[in-house]
Amino acid sequence: MKRVISSMFFTLAVSGGAFAQSAPIATAEPMLWTQTISVTGNGTVQITPDRVTFNVGVQTVAPTVDAAVNENNAKVAAVIAALKKAGATDKELRTANFFINPQQEYNNQGQLPRIIGYQVSNTITVTRTDIASAGRLLQAAISAGVNQASGLSFEVSDPKRGRDEGLQAAFADARGKASALAQAAGRTLGRALSINEGTRAEVPRPMVMAKGMVAQEAMAVSDVPVESGAQQIRYAVSVVFELR
């Protein structure tokens, strides 16, 4: 009985050894690394603005708060009426600023300053899509009593205008840079592996500002000459190209 059991154990052991020898041995395959080059491209487009914005205001000074406010209210009402008569609508006019400042007199004897009057200022912001009417609106406001003006600027209302053209120009710039670098290294440029869009940036435009204008002197002048010009918008992309 013992002999039979030993024979069976030997058979199983041999079979198990044969099975172990027939199992495949795993081998590590070499990893392939793609060589790349990273560059940044820039593209600029010029767009004609389609919106104009400017501020007009009235500043008055009187011995009392009530007198300064009432005088200011009357003049601002005249300015708003003149702007509407020149073509501006309610949606295009917005009160941007209103403040009251005491006018103080100082002495050299160490005494507290004495209030001698009050200054009241009220500013209206005008936003209009008809750029050609900007000069006419400015002149209408000045003739109606405006003695402060600032913030004349021209804008592009739709941020998507020129976007495709700008991004394509930025990518072409990036490919040109990468191709030149690859050629210098004795390589050729492959496909674009990744593309990241940068931040859109508007080239700063000069701001027109005028303060202390006298309405009586301005009445003899024709419409204020304004030119919108073209607005430059820059686009940037970062691209990773394959090197071959």
Looking at residue 204, its pLDDT comes to 54
More confident call, 229 vs 32:
229
Confidence of residue 218 (pLDDT cuts 50, 70, 90): very low
Helix (H) or strand (E) holding 7: helix 2-22
With respect to residue 200, please indicate whether it lies within any of the assigned structural domains: no
With respect to residue 91, please indicate whether it lies within any of the assigned structural domains: yes
Looking at residue 106, its pLDDT comes to 85
Rounded Cα distance between 72 and 59, Å, is 7
Rounded Cα distance between 21 and 135, Å, is 95
Average pLDDT over residues 11-34: 46
Confidence of residue 113 (pLDDT cuts 50, 70, 90): confident
Overall size of the chain counted in residues: 244
With respect to residue 219, please indicate whether it lies within any of the assigned structural domains: yes
Structure tokens belonging to residue 75: 């003049």
Domain extent at residue 60: 49-157+206-228
CATH of the domain at 81: 3.30.70.2970
Query: Considering its fold, how many domains does the chain have in total?
Result: 1
Residue showing tokens 């603005």? 49
With respect to residue 211, please indicate whether it lies within any of the assigned structural domains: yes
Is the CB of residue 141 less than 8 Å from the CB of residue 82?
yes
Which among 216, 215, 212, 218 has a CA at the least distance from the CA of 59?
Answer: 212
Going through 166-229 in order, the beta strands assigned E by DSSP cover 189-197, 201-202, 208-211
Q: What digits encode the pLDDT tens for the residues 56-112? A: 999 999 999 999 999 999 999 999 999 999 999 999 999 999 999 999 988 777 778
What's the DSSP call for residue 87? T
Rounded Cα distance between 24 and 113, Å, is 99
With respect to residue 21, please indicate whether it lies within any of the assigned structural domains: no
Provide, for the chain, the percentages of residues in helix, strand and coil under a 3-state DSSP scheme, each rounded to the nearest 5. 35, 35, 30
Confidence of residue 217 (pLDDT cuts 50, 70, 90): very low
With respect to residue 174, please indicate whether it lies within any of the assigned structural domains: no
